[in-house]
Amino acid sequence: MTENTLPENNLRLERAETERRFRSNGHTLENVRRDFPQWRKGRARYLLWAIDVDREAVRGKVASAGLHLLDLLLDDYRRQPHVTLALCGFSSGAPQLPDDVSLAQIEAQVAALRQTGLQPFSIDIGFLSSFSSAPFLHVLDADDGIAALRTCLAPANCGDWPVDYTAHVTVGLYNGAWPSAQVSLRLADFDCGPAVRHSVHRISLMSYAADDISGPLTTLAEVHLDRGAIVWHEEALF
């Protein structure tokens, strides 16, 4: 039995359940590249906590999956490979709306992370699967590190907090309402190769331009799990 046998088996079980949910939707969700002013309300940057997995092995897997589904996806998807842990909200020096987030709230999340004494852990990035809005690569949280991080971030989280959470790396966004059964066959026909193991030593506070549905991520800060220290790259948003 190889080192990756157990993770691969677990990923197959997760994939089967995700496929069942995906097929039950009937069709994919058509994404449209446009601004969403009713959501933004004039605000520019949206923040999230994520695991940065932008490395060669993962980029290659994402690129291959995107090429396999090219005709089904919006073009010019520029978000770097990442695993979203928690949505924070729109950065604000003086929060007024429920989905605004302040520097003090971010610092409270960092304090919660530090108090738990979390240590580095590993994840496995494997099968191609899909939500109704987007295809993704499954992430196996064998060490329960992602679950522990989300527990730390939850009390101060200022954005949506999905109950039915699936760790994943997004491949792209669907450009039409495609029949789920047909898309599922395309997904199953993709040779994803062995899972990629990624060692998580830090998590990142990231942001994106809220008027760009597929724009790149910017790293604002990183929290190192082994010492709980936060290193800021950009504080101007607050």
pLDDT at residue 203, rounded to an integer:
97
Q: Which of 6-20, 193-207, 219-233 has the highest mean pLDDT?
A: 193-207
Enumerate the domain spans of the chain. 5-31+44-232
Q: Is 9 helix (H, G, I), strand (E, B) or coil?
A: helix
DSSP 8-state class, residue 176: S
C-alpha dihedral over 174, 168, 188, 198, to 10 degrees? 130
More confident of the two residues 225 and 156: 225
pLDDT band at 7 (very low <50, low <70, confident <90, very high): low
Nearest to 170 by CA among 83, 75, 45: 83
What does the block give as tokens for 205?
């506070």
Which pTM does this prediction carry?
A: 0.91
Q: Is the pLDDT of residue 35 over 60?
A: yes
Q: What is the structure's pLDDT at 204?
A: 97
pLDDT, average across residues 76-84: 97
H-type helices in 154-193, by residue range?
A: 180-188
Q: Name the CATH topology of 5-31+44-232.
A: Cyclic Phosphodiesterase; Chain: A, (3.90.1140)
Return the pLDDT at 3: 45
Q: Which of 25-29, 74-78, 92-96 comes out lowest in average pLDDT?
A: 92-96
Residue 158 confidence (pLDDT) = 44
Q: What is the mean pLDDT of residues 17-45?
A: 93
pLDDT digits (tens, 9 = 90+) for 174-202: 999 999 999 999 999 999 899 999 999 99
| CA-based end-to-end distance of the chain | 51
**3-class secondary structure, 87:** strand
pLDDT tens digits, residue range 122-168? 999 988 999 999 999 999 998 999 999 998 888 544 444 556 789 99
Task: Indicate the residue type of 91.
Answer: S
